[in-house]
Amino acid sequence: MVENSSFSSQKELFDKGTLSVEECVNSFLNKINERNNLNAFLEVYSEEAIRRAKEIDQKIKAGNQGRLAGMVIGLKDNIAFKGHKFSASSKILEGFESQFSATAVERLLNEDAIIIGRLNCDEFAMGSSNENSAYGPVSNHLNEDYVPGGSSGGSTVAVGAGMCHVALGSDTGGSIRQPASFTGTVGFKPTYGRISRYGLIAYASSFDQIGPFSNSIEDAALVSEIMMGKDEFDSTLSNKEVPNLSDLNTHSVKRIAYIKEIFEDDGLDQEIKNQCNQLIEKLKSEGFEVEEVSFPYLDKLVPAYYVLTTAEASSNLSRFDGVHYGHQSKNAEGIDEIYKLSRSEGFGPEVKRRIMTGTFVLSHGFYDAYYSQGQKVRRVIRDKTNEIFQSYDMIIGPTTPTTAFKKNAVKDPITMYLQDIYTVHSNLSGNPSISIPFKNHSENNMPYGIQLMADHFEEKDLLAFSKYLSTIID
Amino acid sequence: MDFKEELLDKYEAVIGLEVHIQLNTKTKAYSSDRYKYGDSPNSDVSVISLGHPGTLPRFNKQVMNYAVKLGVALDCEITEKMNFARKNYFYPDLPKGYQITQDLTPICTGGAVKIKDEKGNDKLVHLTRIHWEEDAGKSIHDLDPFNTLVDLNRAGVPLLEIVSEPEIKSSEEAYNYLYEVRKLVRYLEICNGNMEEGSLRCDANISVMPKGSDTFGTKVEVKNMNSMRNVQKAIEFEIRRQIIANETGEEIKQETRAYDALNNRTLSMRSKESDNDYRYFPEPDLPIIRVSQEYVSEVKETMPPLPDQLYRKFTEELKLSDYDSKILTDSKEVALYFEELIQHNTNYKSCANWLIGDIKSYLNDKAIELEEFPVKPEAIAELVRIIDEGKVSNSVASQKIFPLIVENPEKSALKIAEENNLVQDSDEDSIKDYILQVFENNPSEVERYKGGEKQLVGFFMGQLMKVSGGKADPKSANKLIRELLEQ
């Protein structure tokens, strides 16, 4: 089996019978075993996956297989899969099993995808390095001294290291695109409201979006198309019809913007900047109109993001109270102690920090100064972004200011939060955005990605243009 | 200090009520779970109402319909664009750690409840707002000696909270207010109005101030009153407690107090300072809801008749007394029975009398509800008709025919009368024969009548009924007796 293989490159082999799904699953299981030290998987569903592979091989023989027959998928541990453990990489959900599957997972299973296991991530998807998991950090498969990014670190490593075709992640401020950039995979965050959040453990409900990691844009398009669309279980979902995303041959992109403030950002690595500039020149030479636009809110993005997401998180995580399920402190006497001790013991330091921050910004007397202000900034960002898309089809730029950093290298939370400076924009505004592999850095030979953002619900153009862009990146 | 009744004249009470009505929608506010009072604990639940990780609330359109109905009935303004808010607090019977409610955009604002004041005059108690929220589960503290048990059946059941302006002046007005609200929600069939089961709950905000003052006293919130009488008693107690405090110079603390029904008193539960900071913020899992004018008009068109409208119709159009109209509109079942009854017989007064009199006492005797009464309004209408036509007397109808109708609800009243030989004679000749027979049997009374004892007509009537077996039509008989005696 080829390393870093994509489903799109193998589909024909399955259909012809040259490669059985069972063989494919076994080879992924071997790889998972071989690279166990990366700590990408929290649990591998070996037997279940093999059993299902056999069933799907029968279906392929009978010719009644679904569109994802043969696709092997890993799930970030914040996406529900019925009858399986479900922890968001947190001790507070110790022993908890989900009684239902996320809508996205149901749809993949209906098309005969195989779920191979659940993947490590930052606890409750809070982090940019996957160092916040209660089950230990995930290592970057390209160099184990480096972080894979976060919060969907396990997902990107599983795909990048060839442990599955596709992995689902969730992106609240860059948790799909930043790790994709750090590990050389494709990471796609659809428009907010495109894929049902039912079954995704909420971090910040008005930001969260499920999306895929893959080794090809074809795979990202195929699984997204299947997961997207109306779901009665998520009232915030759009009713917009899902276009045929898998057709990547044509796009209507003509005018492309890049944000001046990003290219003037001191935090942006010089080499990444130069490479981005060269790519822009190349696009110009290919006949695109590529122009600089001013977006003078770069320094507002991360603060607004942290005020609003922590506010929502402080409320979303209230249900983990030690009373109904998950970890309950053995030392607690009386209800107040059950709350205080269970939560103190169950949550890690970053989650506690965000719950406290969120509680503070919603508190009486501080709400107007923080939460209301954050909402105002969010509205301005949304309006300004819409304005850009009135004149341009796409915004292009680096996904991250730097490549992956070494483990334990970033200790200051604020510095860590600034990792998301280019990615949070589309979560604040709700736009679809993707990171595709771009280059390897000359200093550490670690990869970095290029980020594209499109207008709301323009995923078809976004993916087709990404496909095109990947062909002109040398 | 002991309370003296005359102190009541010195002070004025200011009362606002918060009434929670639990809606009898098919499913919960944000999930498809059903809920039935009395179901075994934790059986009316799903992953959504249990707040499992990854679940999201779902909008229940029926709640919207009920809320708009109530708003229309109370003449409120319906909010066109509204959102939901989270009220955050920890409690074991609150599985998500927050309640989905409404904060800045309640579905209804304004409006009023029409009540009777203490003198029996109409009074409007204005409303601040009505908002939509979800119920919590139940914490049960008295079943297990060591643990609190939690039943989450009720978690997520929709509630409407009706908040009144502080315009209620006495415990009696508070009672009347609750009475009207309960009557209304039962008419609208959105809530069973049962306070004992907790389908209707009431918290009271109470303060007192010297009469004529324009500064409100410190407000105290009283909870835990599980019947309308208890609300009245708790308010009475609290007003007296606050007056005594005022008189003795004791400070009234802004606090929440619980009513202790056993000892008829209120006890401090918690001070306002120790109140939770609920950290309200817009619920991100539900979209902004728009209530169109068309929708409100649609609801208006399908509104059931309301007690106040029927009361006005009965008094003004049908010229019934206030007393009769009040009884007839007290419950929707009675009012609708009456409405059907008068479709078949326009002797409104007689119809009302039958319903309020014989039928009601029959129901009371059998301890059943009107829904269980087997006789259709048409049959009662026919009974009233044959009385009016003089075919049977009122007393025969009441004592003999009515019990037979109840036993044979399918048979017509006239048929029953005929079969049992109860149709009265109004044929003058045959009545005349009976009368002459009475005169013959009682010659001395005839003499006395002729001597001036006119009241003996009653005696002759009684004798006549005896000999005729009750079949003589009293009206014509009375007239005929006088004529024959005067000859």
For residue range B292-332, list pLDDT tens digits in order.
Answer: 999 999 999 999 999 999 999 999 999 999 999 999 999 99
Average pLDDT over residues B359-369: 92
- In this structure, are B243 and B320 located in the same domain? no
- Of the ranges A423-432, B6-15, B142-151, B223-232, which is most confident? A423-432
- pLDDT (0 to 100) of residue B469: 74
- pLDDT (0 to 100) of residue A451: 98
Q: Write out the residue range of the structural domain in which residue B30 sits.
A: 5-294
Give residue A22's Cα distance to chain centre.
Answer: 28
- pLDDT (0 to 100) of residue B454: 85
Domain boundary, last residue among B419, B447, B465: B419
Residue A257 within a domain: no
Q: In which band, very low, low, confident or very high, does the pLDDT at B425 lie, cut at 50, 70 and 90?
A: low
Across the A/B interface, how many CB contacts are shorter than 8 Å?
97
Residue B76 within a domain: yes
Domain boundary, last residue among B419, B451, B471: B419
| Nearest CB neighbour to B281, from listed A317, A323, A371 | A371
Under 8 Å between Cβ of B133 and B103: no
With 50 as the cut, is the pLDDT of residue A1 above it? Answer: no
Looking at B272-398, which runs of residues are DSSP E strands?
281-282, 289-290
Which residues on chain B place their C-beta less than 8 Å from a C-beta of chain A? 47, 50-59, 86, 88, 90, 92, 95-98, 148, 150, 277, 279-281, 284-287
For residue B50, list chain A residues with Cβ-Cβ distance below 8 A.
Answer: 324
Average pLDDT over residues A145-157: 98
Q: Say how far apart CA A178 and CA A435 lie, in whole Å.
A: 8
User: Rounded to 5 degrees, what are φ and ψ at B98?
Assistant: -155, 155
Q: Tell me if residue B209 falls in helix, strand or coil.
A: strand
- In this structure, are B24 and B151 located in the same domain? yes
pLDDT tens, position by position, A9-64: 999 999 888 999 999 999 999 999 999 999 999 999 999 999 999 999 999 999 99
Instruction: Pull the structure tokens for residue A12.
Output: 């024909």
pLDDT tens, position by position, A350-401: 999 999 999 999 999 999 999 999 999 999 999 999 999 999 999 999 999 9
* Residue pointed to by tokens 């057709």: A247
B115-118, long-range: CB within 8 Å, 24+ apart, which pairs? B115/B173, B115/B176, B115/B177, B115/B179, B115/B180, B116/B176, B117/B169, B117/B173, B117/B176, B118/B169, B118/B170, B118/B172, B118/B173
With 50 as the cut, is the pLDDT of residue A2 above it? Answer: no
pLDDT tens, position by position, B88-135: 999 999 999 999 999 999 999 999 999 999 898 999 999 999 999 999
For residue B103, list chain A residues with Cβ-Cβ distance below 8 A.
Answer: none
With 60 as the cut, is the pLDDT of residue B481 above it? Answer: yes
> Across the strands, what pairs with A44?
A117
- pLDDT (0 to 100) of residue B427: 66
- In this structure, are B400 and B449 located in the same domain? no
CA distance B311 to chain A (A): 43
Residue A184 within a domain: yes
CATH number of the domain at A19, please. 3.90.1300.10
- In this structure, are B144 and B45 located in the same domain? yes
Residue B171: cis peptide before it, omega within 30 degrees of 0? no
Average pLDDT over residues B426-443: 80
Low-confidence winner among A283-292, B16-25, B211-220, B410-419 (lowest mean pLDDT): B410-419
Return the closest-CA partner of residue A293 out of A425, A405, A418, A419: A425
Chain A residue with Cα closest to B99:
A315
Residue B299 within a domain: no
- pLDDT (0 to 100) of residue B272: 74
- pLDDT (0 to 100) of residue A3: 45
Contact A318 B98 (CB under 8 A): yes
User: Rounded to 5 degrees, what are φ and ψ at B152?
Assistant: -100, 15
- In this structure, are B237 and B311 located in the same domain? no
CATH number of the domain at B446, please. 1.10.10.410
For residue A312, list chain B residues with Cβ-Cβ distance below 8 A.
Answer: 281, 284
- In this structure, are B287 and B365 located in the same domain? no
pLDDT tens, position by position, B167-224: 999 999 999 999 999 999 999 999 999 999 999 999 999 999 999 998 999 999 999 8
* Residue pointed to by tokens 């071997």: A30
Q: Say how far apart CA A109 and CA A223 lie, in whole Å.
A: 11
Contact B281 A315 (CB under 8 A): yes
With 80 as the cut, is the pLDDT of residue B461 above it? Answer: yes
Return mean pLDDT, chain B: 92
Contact A363 B55 (CB under 8 A): no
- In this structure, are B286 and B393 located in the same domain? no
Q: Tell me if residue B318 falls in helix, strand or coil.
A: coil
pLDDT tens, position by position, B258-295: 999 999 999 999 887 767 899 999 999 999 999 999 99
For residue A100, list chain B residues with Cβ-Cβ distance below 8 A.
Answer: 47, 52, 54-55
Average pLDDT over residues B214-239: 94
Under 8 Å between Cβ of A99 and A53: no
Instruction: Pull the structure tokens for residue B67.
Output: 């809320």
Q: In which band, very low, low, confident or very high, does the pLDDT at B426 lie, cut at 50, 70 and 90?
A: low
Chain B residue with Cα closest to A124:
B53
Domain boundary, last residue among B362, B392, B419: B419
Model ipTM?
0.95
Q: Write out the residue range of the structural domain in which residue A104 sits.
A: 7-227
Q: Say how far apart CA A306 and CA B307 lie, in whole Å.
A: 54
For residue B51, list chain A residues with Cβ-Cβ distance below 8 A.
Answer: 319, 324
- In this structure, are B233 and B350 located in the same domain? no
Residue B300 within a domain: no
> Across the strands, what pairs with B87?
B99
- pLDDT (0 to 100) of residue B180: 96
Q: Tell me, what amino acid is at B171?
A: S
CA distance B302 to chain A (A): 27
Close Cβ partners of B250 (under 8 Å, ≥ 6 residues apart): B244
Chain A residue with Cα closest to B100:
A315
- In this structure, are B160 and B281 located in the same domain? yes
- In this structure, are B278 and B370 located in the same domain? no
Q: In which band, very low, low, confident or very high, does the pLDDT at B423 lie, cut at 50, 70 and 90?
A: confident
Contact B279 A80 (CB under 8 A): no
Residue A431 within a domain: no
Under 8 Å between Cβ of B159 and B174: no
CA distance B6 to chain A (A): 44
| Nearest CB neighbour to B90, from listed A102, A339, A371 | A339
Q: What is the DSSP letter of B118?
A: T
- pLDDT (0 to 100) of residue B456: 87
With 60 as the cut, is the pLDDT of residue B373 above it? Answer: yes
- In this structure, are B67 and B181 located in the same domain? yes
Average pLDDT over residues A275-297: 98
As for how many domains chain A has, the answer is 1
Residue B193 within a domain: yes
- Angle (deg, nearest 10), helices B228-248 and B171-188: 150
As for how many domains chain B has, the answer is 3
Q: What is the DSSP letter of B11?
A: E
- In this structure, are B215 and B105 located in the same domain? yes
Which residues on chain A place their C-beta less than 8 Å from a C-beta of chain B? 78-80, 86, 88, 93, 96, 98-100, 102, 197-202, 204-206, 232-236, 311-312, 314-315, 317-321, 323-325, 335, 339, 359, 362-364, 367, 371
Residue A144 within a domain: yes
- pLDDT (0 to 100) of residue B275: 74
The pTM of this model reads 0.90
Residue A415 within a domain: no
